[in-house]
Amino acid sequence: LVQGRLFSSQDRKGTLQVAVINRAMAEKFWPGQNPIGKRVTPGNGTDWWEVVGVVGNVRSFGLVANTPYEMYRSMDQQPFPSMTVVLRTQTDDPTSIVQSARQIVAGIDPSVPVTAVQTMEEVVSASVGQPRLLSALSALFGGLAGLLAMVGIYGVTAHNVRRQRREFGIRLALGAEPGAVQTLVVKRGGAVAAAGVVLGAFGALLLSQSLQSMLNDVQPTDPTVFGLNALMVVAVSVAACYLPARAAGRVDPMVILRDN
């Protein structure tokens, strides 16, 4: 309950027709207003129901579906031909009370059938089954793509650093400190990595909307995801620059110059 009240024993046949709406319906039809006391009609213009309460949104059609505009009616004022009953149990196995529930319903009215019995876990699993599969596949292929990208970045960057060994040898021969050479190499690699991160983030922003249908309560432009990916790229690039430069800084400059 967000606002107003829920149904009570006074909401029965012959009394004021009332309804409880969800938050989405209240924000749609009475934005910025108090919906309590407003009236709605099923469309015929003769029956009017007064809004007495507002409740939170429920994803009745699955976790991936948009929240519908929902209105609740009292069973005492408007009986339905069928209904769904939710039972909360204290046992580890909720299916153990199914037979008892059937006996209770039969004791009230033997002609009422009890069908389609499911646990809440089964209901949720059926709702998220396909999105969960798509998410798992996306995570798998995304992880493989990220691994290949990391290997590629490291290989290309390390190769470019090794091509500069002659320059390192000249700098060392002229008196440069190995630490200064390593810092220079890391700075160059960091500049290239930063440019790649900016271009990659821009491309990811353009393509991120295609993932919107697979996400729930998470934006495709989640800054945490973008930040972690950028950090990984920069870290791999720096490592790819530092390790070869560190090895080159430990070698005799004359040996490096002869090799090149």
pLDDT per position as a tens digit, 32-88: 999 999 999 877 777 889 999 999 998 877 766 778 899 999 989 988 888 888 899
* Nearest CA-CA partner of 165 in 101, 77, 259, 97: 259
The residue assigned the tokens 């029956």 is 47
**Residue 28's pLDDT is what?**
94
Cβ–Cβ under 8 Å, residues 70 and 60 = yes
pTM above 0.85, yes or no: no
What is the residue whose two structure tokens read 């970045």?
Answer: 153
Return the SS3 of 94.
Answer: helix
pLDDT digits (tens, 9 = 90+) for 164-182: 777 877 887 888 887 887 7
Say how far apart CA 243 and CA 239 lie, in whole Å: 6
Supply 240's token pair.
């790819």
